[in-house]
Structure 1
Amino acid sequence: MMHPPDRPSRLGAGGDNAIAFAIGVAADEWTLLILRHAMQDGVRRPERWRELLPIPEAVLTSRLRRMSELGILDPVEYDRDPPRCEYHLTPRGAALWPVLVTIWAWEVRWAGGHPEHLPRMRHLTCGNLFDPLMACRECGDVVTPREVTGAFGPSGSWPRSAPNTTMRRRSSGSANLGPGFFPESRALIGNRWSAAMLGAAYLGAHRFSEFQRRLGAPATVIADRLRAFRALGVLEAFGDADRADRHDYRLTDKGRAFFPVVMSAIEWGQRWFLAPEGPAVVFRHRASDHPFSVLLLCSACSRPLSGKQMSVV
């Protein structure tokens, strides 16, 4: 199914919701890297992506096809003999910049043992290096994850929010992807169960039984994800050391710091993929009791960020 790049897609009733589409994009490493160079360097031609990334031609072809189907890129033929296309970034694709910026900032701050030193971002409006601050678009206040509450909306449920298929990801043993490689983000949202587990933690799940009941996942999957999240330092466990099923799992500062990534991805999904029943999830700013949506601010000058006013240094 091709999705129109310049207006929201209308989804079928009862199928994958906006969150599932957002996960399908944000969880794929190659998609993020292709987007990075399209946004940052204006790359449009496959041969240029192959120069910049250690990506097999077949993988690049499949990603460009899928991103075109989703309306993120628009293929434009520039030669007929042989047929060759450029892939132009669409408004839908350009709107993914908050996801890239928040992932980048989180990896810089929290990901230990990174394959290479990640460069910093500069806000061209004020000229300073910056970190993105998450604020409430309604009132302008900078907020913490604890100040935002969320609940499933009319099209929201765990089965509808976890995509049934995702694009195949690079194995951990392949070539170093350099500064664009997001290793810990991939571990958090790199497959349907990881992303769903993280979402359940943000929505208040604390016990093994709560994760299992909400997600409907096998106990072995829940146990594996909880171990992985603890090893990454995004969850910590309290309680009976001998009984994992009695642990109380709480987000750490590192885990809470990933929240702007999740919020940015969900907001992108709900802007561009509309279910007939209504939104998949609804957020509120707890302190002011009004609807919450993300506004990213520059930590240096406190002005709103935009995709065209940032550079990598």
Structure 2
Amino acid sequence: MARRAAYTELEPGGDNAIAVTLGALGDEWNLWILRYAIAGCRRYGDWMEHGSISNSVLSARLARLTELGLFDKVRYSDRPARYEYQLTGRGVSVWPILLSMWAWEARWAPMSDAPLPAMRHRECGSRFVPVLVCAACGEETVRHDVAARLGPSGDWSRSVPASIGRRRSANALKPSQLLPHTMELLGNRWSAAMLGAFMLGARRFGELSDRTGAPPAMVADRLRRFTELGVISTELAPNRPDWVTYHLTEKGEAFFPVVVLMIAWGQRWFRAPEGPAIEFTHRCGKRFDPLLVCSECRHRLRATEVLVEE
């Protein structure tokens, strides 16, 4: 596979790494294309064999992912001119995010129309789930073990992409619902922004609106949908029954690995000149860099060692 070592420097004052990442990975077709690319798809026909994607959608998504540096477009035939799309190092490094999404869906959306197959770790031979640990100390990590603060490019206005969450008709062609709940959280620009606000500690309606810049009607709509999905719960303040606070449920907290892996990936490959959008510190006192290990043998997971049992 072709590899690019260099990162992309973003425009000063423009979209930060979070916005770019959500724009790229908050799209159902992009995730679908990447999933099969990691499995070996390189040419148009390879993807066409796996689903009902149209030529125009596939062409547009491959062009965008190539522009973002996840693919290299390589000519393999001159007469006629034909091309294949080879994953770069940037594209290959998406796999931990896809793995964490896959595991979260398998655990929390078991009634999906497209049940996910099990995963087996080649090194130990066991079926497993990925476990998030701190790369510095090796400790298993949940959201409350990590302190987060906004960095120099972390303004909320720079973190919400304009390119996802546009309304589509009910008849619009979509990939099979492989990650339906994940797309509910990431496939709408306001959903993604509100999820980030929750992960950073927002609890009240006004906080969610102020931090994300979302219109009140949109905040109310997203809160309703998050509650239906079981991602958040509501609590009445004991001394102020008219005050409601919102809290991540166990299901919502369990999405933290997806969020932190996406942010880490984005800030590795897309860098704002002002500095990072978010800075993480683990309870061990070191900078938090996320890492996935096997739940059974606790060895680091690598893409070539994860087997999908179709």
Shorter-chain TM band: over 0.9
Aligned to 1:160: 158
Question: What secondary structure sits across from 2:18 in the alignment?
Answer: helix
Aligned partner letter, 2:257: P
Which range moves more in the overlay, 158-167 or 95-104? Answer: 158-167
1:171-222 deviation line (CA, Å, top 9, x unaligned): 66567845x7110000001121110000000000000011011111110010
The change in CA–CA distance for 1:174 and 1:218 in structure 2 (over 3 A counts) is closer
Structure 2-normalised TM-score?
0.93
Conserved 8 A contact 2:203-2:246: yes
Conserved 8 A contact 1:24-1:163: yes
Aligned to 1:192: 189
Question: What secondary structure sits across from 2:226 in the alignment?
Answer: helix
Conserved 8 A contact 2:28-2:175: no
* Aligned counterpart for 1:77 among listed residues 75, 79, 83: 75
Gap regions ≥5 residues in structure 1: none
State whether structure 2 residue 300 is matched by structure 1 residue 304: yes
- Give 1:291 shift: 1.2
The within-5 A match list for 1:211-222 is: 211-222=208-219
Aligned to 1:8: 7
* Aligned counterpart for 1:294 among listed residues 290, 293, 302: 290
The change in CA–CA distance for 1:187 and 1:307 in structure 2 (over 3 A counts) is same
1:266-307 deviation line (CA, Å, top 9, x unaligned): 000000011111111001113x22211101010011001111
Question: What secondary structure sits across from 1:248 in the alignment?
Answer: strand
Aligned partner letter, 1:51: E
Question: What secondary structure sits across from 2:5 in the alignment?
Answer: coil
Say what the alpha-carbon RMSD is for the aligned residues: 2.1
**Residues in 2 aligned to 1:17 and 1:150: alpha-carbon distance in whole angstroms:** 16
**Residues in 2 aligned to 1:245 and 1:6: alpha-carbon distance in whole angstroms:** 54
Aligned to 2:254: 257
**Residues in 1 aligned to 2:117 and 2:168: alpha-carbon distance in whole angstroms:** 22
Identity over the aligned pairs, expressed in percent? Answer: 48
List 4+ stretches of structure 1 deviating above 2 A: 80-83, 166-178, 243-246
State whether structure 2 residue 79 is matched by structure 1 residue 91: no
* Aligned counterpart for 2:269 among listed residues 267, 272, 278: 272
Aligned to 1:31: 30
The change in CA–CA distance for 1:176 and 1:215 in structure 2 (over 3 A counts) is closer
The within-5 A match list for 1:114-263 is: 114-166=112-164, 177-178=175-176, 181-239=178-236, 246-263=243-260
Aligned partner letter, 1:99: I
Structure 1-normalised TM-score?
0.93
Gap regions ≥5 residues in structure 2: none
Question: What secondary structure sits across from 1:128 in the alignment?
Answer: coil
Aligned partner letter, 2:182: S
Aligned to 1:19: 18
Question: What secondary structure sits across from 2:82 in the alignment?
Answer: strand
Question: What secondary structure sits across from 1:246 in the alignment?
Answer: strand
Aligned partner letter, 2:248: L
**Residues in 2 aligned to 1:79 and 1:183: alpha-carbon distance in whole angstroms:** 38
- Give 1:167 shift: 8.1
Q: How many equivalent residue pairs?
A: 306
**Residues in 2 aligned to 1:140 and 1:53: alpha-carbon distance in whole angstroms:** 39
Aligned to 2:47: 49
**Residues in 1 aligned to 2:166 and 2:59: alpha-carbon distance in whole angstroms:** 13
